[in-house]
Amino acid sequence: MCFDGNMVRSKSELVIANHLCSLELPYHYERPLEGTASPGRLRPDFSFVTDAGEVVVWEHLGMLDRDDYRRGWEWKLEWYKNNGFKIGENLFTTQESEKGGLDMRPIEETARTIRKLLQS
């Protein structure tokens, strides 16, 4: 359980959620996101809403070494693209190292970038 009481699925997501809490950066965990260009809905790991109502998504890719997980991510990425999400603009990703470790530097950088988007 995170500092804010949210339950998350992985240790890495717990680290991210607690980091977001420490920054007082409000987020939604696995909040449904409806598609318009590609039907269906996804539950992004973390989503944020700007003052203008725009959605910003952060997906943590924890198991890209697994074929099924990687294929699932490729499908999700296509869905995001078809629904107006662009990596580095309103879609951000972090991932585990090849050895399964978690480097906080990309997490901190991603959180700073998202904070700037939410404050603009």
Instruction: Output the CA torsion sign for 78, 111, 101, 44.
Output: negative
Residue 2: the pLDDT is 61
With CA atoms as reference, report the closest residue to 83 among 106, 65, 57, 103: 57
CA distance 45 to 115: 17
pTM: 0.92
DSSP string covering 65-120: TSHHHHHHHHHHHHHHHHTT--BTTTEEEEE--TTS---HHHHHHHHHHHHHHHH-
> What is the tens place of the pLDDT at every residue in 15-50?
999 999 999 999 999 999 999 887 789 999 999 999
Q: Is 57 in a helix, a strand, or coil?
A: strand
Q: Residue 92 has what pLDDT?
A: 98
Span 84-97, pLDDT tens digits: 999 999 999 999 87
Beta bridge partners of 57: 47, 91
Domain boundaries of the chain, sorted by first residue: 11-119
Element (H, E) at 12: helix 11-22
What pLDDT digit, counting tens, does each position of 48-79 carry? 999 999 999 999 998 888 899 999 999 999 99
